Structure 1
Amino acid sequence: MKEVQDIVRAFEEARKEGKQTALATVVHVQGSSYRRPGARMLVTEDGKLTGAISGGCLEGDALRKARLAMVQQKAMLVTYDTTDEDDAKLGVGLGCNGIIQILIEPINPDNPENPVTLLQSFLDNRQHAVLVTLFSLDYQAAMQPGTCLFATEGGAIVGGFQDKSLEKALIADAQEVLRTRTSMTKTYATPQTALTGFVELLKPAVSLIIAGAGNDAIPVTEMAAILGWQTTVVDRRASYATAERFPAAQQVLVAKPEQVLSKIKLDEQTVFVLMTHNYNYDTAMLRQLLPLQMPYVGVLGPKKKLERMLEELQEEGMQLSEEERKSVYGPVGLDVGAETSEEIALAIVSEIKAVLSKRVGTSLRDKQDVIHSREGEKIKQVTLE
């Protein structure tokens, strides 16, 4: 998410300065690579790079090709085969073992449907969206359609096609991606041609609500900002909950526990961390959050404190299901041996990322399988009438 935010910002700066730009997007990966499909990099005509499509090995070559795309005003698909020794001889070996497809699109700022403007539309509205990018794997020298459709949960669809059967298929797949919350790659074949579409799910930034405006909450907001998360800090103490103390937060609220939920928007990307160091405030917040089954509620403090809070809520008559209990993480954070407030912040942010990614936060060294699932590498094919 931070990458998209930075690209949109860099594009706007380049537009104001009258500079040409091109967007490089990883659209498909087979095997191992540093970045996965959806990774992006904006290139300006004077060589400024924002974002990344690799660990640094591809950027130089991609810059040269992006400049060519700007001159020709024509999208191009570039293949980097790191299983091929010739690529290694040319200096683009990644130290991985995969085939990476990069689509490079020159950006026309006057086109309201250019890919960066569509990404801006996504950022402006806090909801899931789908961006469809079409390319030809079989005929790379042919015209590459590029970014062609944008769909939102609200039903808005941007993009149109002369081929109505293709348009219908893409819209249906975009809606399926929104429903399943999983991107897909599919080839759409006709008697004349075959185009592959990367139907990409765009998720809103994580919305982190921190209950507690103590000094230990400050590094949590700072680390969240590095990731591009949207952070709200709330506390009942007006002298603590100030924008001056939390410049990295998007919102700072002074509110009692029963007022908090009415002041924020909740969705499936919203997570909470309770760290007020006030037992009654945290308990009151937990009382409101448990029935909502939020994806993550972290509670700072010892396990006995959390157990006491849950027992107290049950004594009040609250029936706690297993699913409600599973959404609560206390003591908060991964076990990284944290002691200082900065280390604790690292443990908290890492645990939130792991939970939202449905990972357990173990060392990659001990992982028996590949780091990234290879399921997304499969390209389904459908024949259009």
Structure 2
Amino acid sequence: MRELKTIIEAYKKATAEGIKTVLATVVHVDGSSYRRPSARMLVDEHGITTGAISGGCLEGDALRKALHALVQNRNVLISYDTSDEADAVVGAQLGCEGIIQVLFEPLDANNSMNPLKLLEQIIGSQKPYVMVTLFNLKDRRGEQSGCTLMYKEGEKITGSIDNQKLYDSILNDTNIVFKEKRSLFRAYEDNQTTQNAFIEYFAPAVSLVIVGAGNDTQGLALMAETLGWNIYIVDGRPSHASESRFVSSCQIIVAKPEEALQNIPINEQTVFVLMTHNYHYDLSILKCLLPYDQVPYIGILGPKKKFQRMVDELKEKGIEIAQEQLDRIYAPIGLEIGAETPEEIAISVLAEINAVLNGTKGTFLRDKRGPIHTKENTQFDTLKI
């Protein structure tokens, strides 16, 4: 999300200065690639780029293709085959052995369907969104529709399609994407043509609630800001929980434990880290959090015996922590990477949270069997309309 914010900021600056821009988006990958579908790069008419669609090997040619699309003032679809060693553009330079589809869209500041205008609505949102991008793999020189529709929780926000059958099919698939919470690739086929679609799922922005405003939480907040997460600092001490001690994007909440959660929007992308070094404050926050089944991660700093003491004391008060609740609690907090300093601990904690949110174990990639990125749901399912 951080990269997307940077792209939007660069676009707004260029627009204010009257500079024309093009958005390059990876809309599909078959095989391996450094970046996955949804990677984006902004190119302005002076050749300045923001963001990336690869590890650097595609950007040079993509810059030329973007400027060409800008001159033509039309959407252009380009295929990069990184498995072709004879390709002087990429070939052996990348070594990923994948076919990457990149859509170049010149941006019209006056167009309400401008994809960056739409993406700006997503930044920081507490609701999931779906964006539909249409392109044509069979007729690359034909019309490439590009960003066509946007939905929020199944409700259409903007966009239209003249073909009613196509629209109805996309709407149905959009509902599937919302339900399964993952992007979908579809090829819609009728008697005349085939339209490929990248139906892209945007989860709500990650919100990190750091309970504690000690010195060791400052590095954690700083690194989380780099990821583009929403950050809340919660503490009962106004001397510690102050704006001067944390990055500007942090929202500071000074409150008693039972009042703190009232000021925080909580959803399935809200995670909590309890590290006040005040046992009773952390215990009270944990007690308040237990009913929130949608919270996927509650991390508690400290040894196992501290958490066991919490479990025992809650049990004495008649509060039994169910297994489903225990599964969401990570104590001790963080991945085992030998972390000692506050900064190293912050890396350990953020890596664990990212692994939990993405449903992975946080193990060594070299020990993983098969490709780094899952190929599940990356093929175009063809639907007759």
Shorter-normalised TM-score: what interval?
over 0.9
Report what 2:160 is aligned to.
160
The answer to whether the aligner puts 1:329 opposite 2:330 as a matched pair is yes
CA distance in 1, matches of 2:5, 2:227: 10
User: Do the aligned partners of 1:129 and 1:150 also contact (CA within 8 Å) in 2?
Assistant: yes
Shift of 1:124: 5.8
**1:367 counterpart residue number:** 368
State the one-letter code of the partner of 1:364: L
TM-score, length-normalised on structure 1?
A: 0.97
Residue 307 of structure 1 corresponds to which residue in structure 2?
308
Question: Shift of residue 67 of structure 1?
Answer: 0.5
* Cα deviation, residue 236, structure 1: 0.3
**Which amino acid letter does the alignment assign opposite residue 174 of structure 1?**
T
- 1:335-381 CA-to-partner distances (Å, cap 9, x unmatched) read 00000000011111110001101111111011112111111321101
Note if 1:286 corresponds to 2:292.
Answer: no
CA distance in 1, matches of 2:275, 2:125: 29
**Alpha-carbon distance between aligned partners in 2 of 1:198 and 1:155, rounded to the nearest angstrom:** 18
Indicate if the aligned counterparts of 1:128 and 1:153 stay in contact, CA closer than 8 A.
yes
Aligned to 1:348: 349
Mapping 1:140-151, distance limit 5 Å:
140-151=140-151
Deviates more, 1:220-229 or 1:242-251: 242-251
In 2, are the aligned partners of 1:224 and 1:231 still within 8 Å (CA)?
yes
> Which deviates the most, 18-27 or 154-163?
154-163
Q: Alpha-carbon deviation of 1:95?
A: 1.8
Question: Aligned partners of 2:79, 2:110: CA distance in 1, in Å?
Answer: 29
| Residue of structure 1 equivalent to 2:319 | 318
Query: 270-279 or 163-172, which moves further after superposition?
Result: 163-172
What does 1:231-246 align with in structure 2 at a 5 Å threshold? 231-246=231-246
The residue number in structure 1 matching 2:199 is 199
* Cα shift readout 1:98-117 (whole Å, capped 9, x = no counterpart): 10000110000100111000
- Give the counterpart letter for 2:316 in structure 1: E
C-alpha distance in structure 1 between counterparts of 2:137 and 2:90, whole Å: 23
Measured after TM superposition, the shift of residue 156 of structure 1 is 3.4
**What SS does the aligned partner of 1:26 have?**
strand
Structure 1 gaps, min length 5: none
Q: Which moved more, 1:349-358 or 1:312-321?
A: 312-321
SS at match of 1:139: coil
Q: Aligned residue for 2:110?
A: 110
The CA distance in 2 between the partners of 1:174 and 1:3, in whole Å, is 25
Q: Secondary structure at the match of 1:244?
A: helix
CA distance in 2, matches of 1:91, 1:158: 37
- Kept in 1, the 8 Å contact 2:76–2:105? The answer is yes
Q: Give deviations 1:282-338, integer Å, cap 9, x for gaps.
A: 000000112213200000011100110011111111121111001000111100000
Counterpart of 2:89 in structure 1 is 90
Is this contact kept in 2: 1:236–1:254, CA < 8 A?
A: yes
Quote the residue 1:258 is aligned against: 258
Give the counterpart letter for 1:300 in structure 2. L
Q: Which amino acid aligns with 2:317?
A: E
Aligned AA (1:256) = K
1:23 paired residue number = 23
Partners of 1:377 and 1:279 lie apart in 2 by: 47
* SS in structure 2 at match of 1:209: strand
Matches of 2:153 and 2:124, distance apart in 1 = 13
SS of the counterpart of 1:177?
A: helix
Indicate if the aligned counterparts of 1:222 and 1:248 stay in contact, CA closer than 8 A: no
Structure 1 residues 329 and 362, CA gap change in structure 2 (3 angstroms): same
Deviation string, structure 1 residues 166-201 (Cα, Å, up to 9, x no partner): 111112211211111011000001111101000000
**After the TM superposition, which residues 22-171 of structure 1 pair with which residues of structure 2 at under 5 Å, given as runs?**
22-87=22-87, 89-91=88-90, 93-123=93-123, 125-153=125-153, 155-171=155-171
Indicate conservation of the 8 Å contact 1:221/1:249, yes or no.
Answer: no
Structure 2 distance, partners of 1:62, 1:90, is 10
Residues of 2 paired with 1:187 and 1:91: CA distance?
27
Contact 1:31/1:99, CA 8 A, preserved across alignment: yes
- 2:241/2:253 contact within 8 Å kept: yes
8 Å contact kept, 2:83–2:99: yes
TM-score of the pair, normalised by structure 2: 0.97
Offset, 1:248: 4.5
Contact 1:21 1:45 in 2 (8 A): yes
Q: Does the CA-based 8 Å contact 2:149-2:156 persist in structure 1?
A: no
Give 1:91 shift. 4.4
**Could you report, residue by residue, the CA deviation over 1:14-63 in whole angstroms, capped at 9, with x for unpaired residues?**
10011111111101101110000111111111111111100000011001
Per-residue deviation, 1:8: 1.1
Q: CA RMSD in A?
A: 1.1
Q: Deviations for 1:232-281, whole angstroms, at most 9, x for unmatched residues?
A: 00100000000110124430111110011101100110000000000000
Q: Give the length in aligned residue pairs.
A: 383
Q: Helix, strand or coil: the match of 1:121?
A: helix
1:276 matched residue in structure 2: 276
| Residues 125/90 of structure 1: CA separation in 2 closer, same or farther (3 Å cut) | closer
Tell me how far apart the structure 1 counterparts of residues 247 and 229 of structure 2 sit (CA, whole Å): 14
Q: Name the SS of the counterpart of 1:156 in structure 2.
A: strand
1:102-150 CA distance string (max 9 Å, x none): 0110000100111000101222632100001101111111110011010
Deviation at 1:157, TM superposition (A): 2.9
Contact 1:243 1:249 in 2 (8 A): no
4+ runs deviating over 6 angstroms: none
